[in-house]
Amino acid sequence: MGQTILLRGLTSGCVLGLFLKAAQGFTGTNVYVLLLNVDYIPILNRIAFPESVEFGFHLFISILISVILGARPHSKAFYIFAGMVIGVVLYPTTLLSNRTPGLLDFKAMFYWLVGHALYGYVLSIFYTKTKHEAA
């Protein structure tokens, strides 16, 4: 069971990371930088981590979210909505760094929220059962 939870968080987190990295690559909007940003965390903000370590932090958080959201089965819509709520709650951290998009950068906000909805959708694949599976 522990490996399954780990896989769910890792897969969803990787999909979100790849989506935002691609969005940043195609548009130049620093949404992937925002995802990995630790500028606002005391002690961590003093260390220049390589991208792989920052992505590891992101995956750790993704696993925690997967555990919390997976505690009870919900509908696909719940997971997508939860992903978007997480995105809305975290987006203002962009104010805490000069490397991330502005708070009113609507293109960045769009990709950020779509990415987090996608994160929720991927989690929903793992956590919702079809009628056939439930029988």
Q: What is the pLDDT of residue 59?
A: 97
Does residue 80 contact residue 121 with C-beta atoms inside 8 Å? yes
Mean pLDDT of the 46-74 span: 92
Residue of 81, 85, 90, 92 whose CA lies nearest to 121: 81
Give the predicted TM-score (pTM) of the model: 0.89
99: DSSP letter:
S
pLDDT at 132: 42
Structure-model confidence comparison of residues 45 and 55, the more confident one: 55
Crossing angle (nearest 10°) for helices 2-27 and 106-127? 160
Domain limits for position 125: 2-134
Q: C-alpha 61: how far from its chain's center?
A: 8
Overall number of domains in the chain: 1
